């Protein structure tokens, strides 16, 4: 049986009493990590990394999460797209924006060229608390997506799975598409957060999940 990415919470989600579980007070770009053994910021704060294929909506999601219009744009400027970009959020945790993968067709059996950097990052990050893995709500997960999920499972890295661009699905299609993602990712239904950078759906739920990860509170 395929290993599953570990859960990031043990109980059903609680409704947050606060209107915004993650109020953004400050954000600072710390720099980029370009190679598996290259520079990275001192691992002082808890870290949460964001992963997904190119065009899945990662920059849009990060910008929505931290309520900035162009924060994640730096990761889309030439030269920075293959790097892991680090941001200090509120002096509370470090957000690591992993490079988008999946342009080159790589079979699941072959080792993807993007994996060593991510492996190197996780190995040099004793403070990493978990990974937010993005999957397009409308699409069947790619071989790269499945490779990443299996890699996270093999590392025992707590994983929040987000279904992006959920606004593009009609309400009648939602349940079926989400069930496909749950099945393909080998997760339980409450491990998946439907998200839209357009409507803001899922922003607070994701923010709360991240706060739970970085504070260790379940």
Any contact of residue 210 with ligand GDP (CB under 6 A)?
no
Any contact of residue 40 with ligand GDP (CB under 6 A)?
no
Give the interface segment with ligand GDP, choosing from 104-112, 163-171, 172-180, 208-216 (CB under 6 A): 163-171
Cα dihedral sign, 115-67-210-180 = negative
Map tokens 């950078």 to a residue: 197
Contact flags string 99-128 toward ligand GDP, x per CB under 6 A: -x----------------------------
Q: Shortest distance, CB of residue 78 to ligand GDP, whole angstroms? A: 14
Map tokens 């954000």 to a residue: 27
Q: Shortest distance, CB of residue 198 to ligand GDP, whole angstroms? A: 4
Tokens read off for 178? 């989400």
Choose, by CB under 6 A, the member of 14, 168, 173, 175 that binds ligand GDP: 168
Distance of CA 3 to the CA centre of its chain: 19
What DSSP string describes 137-149? TTSPPPHHHHHHH
Residue ranges in 44-73 that form contacts with ligand GDP under rule CB under 6 A:
52, 54-60
Any contact of residue 206 with ligand GDP (CB under 6 A)?
no
Any contact of residue 204 with ligand GDP (CB under 6 A)?
no
Q: Can you tell me the distance from the alpha carbon of 61 to that of 164, in angstroms, rounded to the nearest whole number?
A: 8
Any contact of residue 135 with ligand GDP (CB under 6 A)?
no
**Burial class of residue 39 in the structure, from the number of CB atoms within 10 Å of its CB (0-12 exposed, 13-18 middle, 19+ buried):** exposed
Any contact of residue 148 with ligand GDP (CB under 6 A)?
no
Question: Which helix (H) or strand (E) element contains residue 65?
Answer: helix 58-65
Contacting positions for ligand GDP (CB under 6 A): 52, 54-60, 100, 164-165, 167-168, 196-198
């Amino acid at each position: 049986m395929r290993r599953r990415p570990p859960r990031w919470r043990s109980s059903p989600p609680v409704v947050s009493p606060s209107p915004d579980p993650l109020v953004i007070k400050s954000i600072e770009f710390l720099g980029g990590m370009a190679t598996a053994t290259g520079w990275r910021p001192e691992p002082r704060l808890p870290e949460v990394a964001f992963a997904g294929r190119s065009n899945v909506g990662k920059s849009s999601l990060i910008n929505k999460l931290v309520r900035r219009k162009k924060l994640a744009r730096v990761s889309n400027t030439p030269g920075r797209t293959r790097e892991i970009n680090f941001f200090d959020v509120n002096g509370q945790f470090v957000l690591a924006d992993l490079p988008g993968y999946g342009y080159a067709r790589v079979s699941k059996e072959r080792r993807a060229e993007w994996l060593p950097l991510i492996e190197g990052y996780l190995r040099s990050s004793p403070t990493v608390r978990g990974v937010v893995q993005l999957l397009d709500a409308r699409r069947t997960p790619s071989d790269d997506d499945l490779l990443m999920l299996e890699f996270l499972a093999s590392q025992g890295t707590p994983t929040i799975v987000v279904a992006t661009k959920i606004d593009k699905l009609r309400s009648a299609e939602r349940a079926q598409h989400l069930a496909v993602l749950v099945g393909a990712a080998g997760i339980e239904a409450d491990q998946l957060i439907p998200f839209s950078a357009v409507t803001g759906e899922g922003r607070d739920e994701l923010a709360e999940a991240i706060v739970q990860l970085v504070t260790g509170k379940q």
